[in-house]
């Protein structure tokens, strides 16, 4: 026992103390340790021989409690691997389905554009005349050229959408795997596919209301769905994803909180992702520079609208606004912003087909009125459940806790 205690004492002491011991005692300490190890090895061999003969090996080294603990750990690991496999398989399927859906949409869209190109050209000419008439031609000439970079400085949104998306992605493990997998089923739903496949502008509201999922930091599995969709669209040159996670900006002290900030961020995202002739936009009198600098919400909205008007037919802007119910609150002052986004869908002056997707958990109270009449509300609760053992996740979680305790 003395030899064992000596060796254990050495190997379990802190590294710096261990080092000092070895240095301080020199060859004497090394000799003593070697003797201890040799003694341990000799006695261990003797014990092994005795245990084999007397069937004491299992009882001494692996008690029944230890065996049960190891079995639980192995089961927990196996379940965890199965859960992760299902999630990854679902994510891969969602990505493949979404890519196929986008490709199909572009084929339909290109055909529609080709058929209606002359009509769109006439509407564009009419729109240009209308925009010029909105403002007095006496708009003061700017002393310096307006650039996209300068407009982005004025909007001062600081790529907050990318910050939010990164934060949401980092919290993915905090959401139940079953709920994340359930959200992935949205891509296969007929309402979602019809929204995406329409060659014209379209809107869709997604509710998760009857049995709302877990929320973390005012985010939900629907937030992760929006972020995943935005990431897929970022990689496609013919789409412009415009993301806003309402739940991330509801605090009174947050300078990005509210409808005005949402509009500013959406305009900023457009400027970041697409090249515009911003000088012609400003000199045509469509946007009043002074009011824009002052942060006037209506002027920011006007800028967003004019930018959308300049998006060509071949590109599709996709607005992804998550957890809209937060912006139904009066203090968010977002009525103008939300209704204006929905109006883009029915605006006949736009060359591009605009897609607007709102999500919310729990369901909205007022926003839904713009979708109810057209039966454009997708209820996540009605989606088919994935092949999943209801207790798998709970079992893995509980076993993990048990193993950690032991």
Structure tokens at 201: 């502008």
Beta sheet of 202-207, edge-to-edge order: 239-245, 316-322, 355-360, 202-207, 377-379
3-class DSSP state of 401: helix
Structure tokens at 45: 């061999």
Residues 6+ apart with CB under 8 A from 220: 175, 208, 212, 213, 214, 247, 322, 323, 361
- Burial-class residue 211 by CB neighbours within 10 Å (0-12, 13-18, 19+): exposed
Structure tokens at 150: 């300068």
Residues 6+ apart with CB under 8 A from 333: 258, 259, 260
The answer to whether residues 207 and 378 touch, using CB atoms and an 8 Å cutoff, is: yes
> For 64, what's the count of Cα atoms within 13 Å in the CB-facing half-sphere?
0
Q: Which residue, 35, 39, 38, 13, is CA-closest to 21?
A: 13
Provide the terminal-to-terminal Cα distance of the chain, rounded to the nearest Å: 26
pLDDT of residue 16: 35
CA pair distance 232, 239, nearest whole angstrom: 10
CA pair distance 214, 388, nearest whole angstrom: 18
CA pair distance 24, 256, nearest whole angstrom: 61
3-class DSSP state of 357: strand
C-alpha torsion 167→172→176→181, nearest 10: 120
Q: Which residue, 164, 339, 366, 368, is CA-closest to 265?
A: 164
Tens place of pLDDT per residue across the chain (406 aa): 444 444 444 444 443 334 434 434 444 444 554 565 566 556 656 655 665 555 554 555 556 677 777 777 777 777 767 767 767 777 777 788 888 899 999 999 898 888 877 665 666 666 665 665 555 444 444 444 688 999 999 999 999 999 999 999 999 999 999 999 999 999 999 999 999 999 999 999 999 999 999 999 999 999 999 999 999 999 899 999 999 999 999 998 899 999 999 999 999 999 999 999 887 777 667 888 899 999 999 999 999 999 999 999 999 999 999 999 999 999 999 999 999 999 999 999 999 999 999 999 999 999 999 998 888 999 999 998 765 544 444 444 444 443 344 4
CA pair distance 293, 156, nearest whole angstrom: 10
Instruction: List, in sequence order, every residue forming a beta bridge with 318; answer none if it has no partner.
Output: 241, 355
pLDDT of residue 323: 98
Structure tokens at 344: 């883009």
Q: Which residue, 332, 269, 328, 346, is CA-closest to 300?
A: 269
pLDDT of residue 38: 60
Residues 6+ apart with CB under 8 A from 275: 148
pLDDT of residue 236: 92
Structure tokens at 147: 């650039």
The answer to whether residues 148 and 278 touch, using CB atoms and an 8 Å cutoff, is: yes
CA pair distance 10, 32, nearest whole angstrom: 11
* Residue corresponding to tokens 């789409």: 239
DSSP 8-state symbol, 241 = E
Instruction: List, in sequence order, every residue forming a beta bridge with 320; answer none if it has no partner.
Output: 243, 357
CA pair distance 312, 308, nearest whole angstrom: 9
């Amino acid at each position: 026992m003395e030899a064992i205690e000596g060796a254990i004492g050495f190997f379990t002491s802190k590294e710096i103390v261990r080092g000092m011991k070895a240095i301080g005692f020199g060859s004497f300490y090394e000799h003593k340790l070697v003797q201890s190890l040799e003694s341990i090895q000799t006695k261990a061999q003797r014990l092994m021989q005795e245990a084999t003969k007397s069937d004491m090996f299992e009882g001494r080294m692996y008690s029944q409690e230890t065996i049960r603990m190891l079995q639980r750990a192995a089961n927990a690991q196996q379940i965890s691997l199965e859960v992760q496999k299902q999630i990854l398989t679902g994510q891969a399927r969602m990505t493949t389905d979404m890519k196929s859906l986008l490709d199909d949409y572009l084929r339909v869209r290109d055909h529609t554009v080709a058929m209606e190109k002359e009509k769109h050209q006439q509407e564009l000419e009419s729109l240009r005349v209308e925009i010029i008439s909105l403002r007095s031609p006496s708009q003061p000439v700017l002393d310096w050229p307006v650039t996209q970079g300068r407009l982005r400085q004025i909007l001062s949104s600081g790529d907050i959408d990318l910050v939010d998306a990164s934060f949401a992605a980092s919290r993915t493990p905090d959401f139940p795997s079953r709920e994340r997998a359930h959200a992935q089923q949205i891509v296969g739903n007929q309402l979602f596919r019809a929204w995406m496949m329409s060659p014209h502008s379209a809107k869709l509201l997604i509710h998760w209301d009857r049995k709302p999922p877990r929320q973390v930091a005012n985010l939900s599995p629907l937030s992760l769905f929006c972020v995943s969709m935005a990431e897929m669209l970022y990689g496609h040159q013919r789409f412009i994803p415009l993301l806003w996670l309402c739940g991330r900006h509801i605090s009174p002290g947050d300078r990005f909180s509210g409808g005005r900030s949402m509009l500013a961020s959406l305009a900023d995202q457009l400027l970041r992702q697409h090249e515009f002739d911003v000088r012609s936009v400003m000199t045509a009198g469509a946007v009043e520079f002074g009011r824009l600098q002052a942060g006037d919400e209506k002027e920011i909205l006007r800028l967003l609208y004019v930018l959308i008007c300049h998006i060509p037919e071949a590109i599709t802007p996709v607005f992804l606004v998550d957890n809209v119910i937060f912006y139904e609150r009066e203090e968010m002052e977002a009525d103008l912003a939300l209704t204006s986004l929905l109006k883009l869908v029915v605006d006949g002056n736009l060359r591009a087909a605009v897609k607007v997707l709102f999500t919310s958990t729990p369901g909205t109270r007022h926003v839904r009125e713009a979708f109810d009449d057209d039966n454009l509300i997708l209820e996540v609760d009605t989606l088919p459940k994935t092949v999943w053992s209801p207790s798998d996740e709970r079992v893995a979680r509980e076993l993990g806790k048990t193993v950690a305790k032991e």
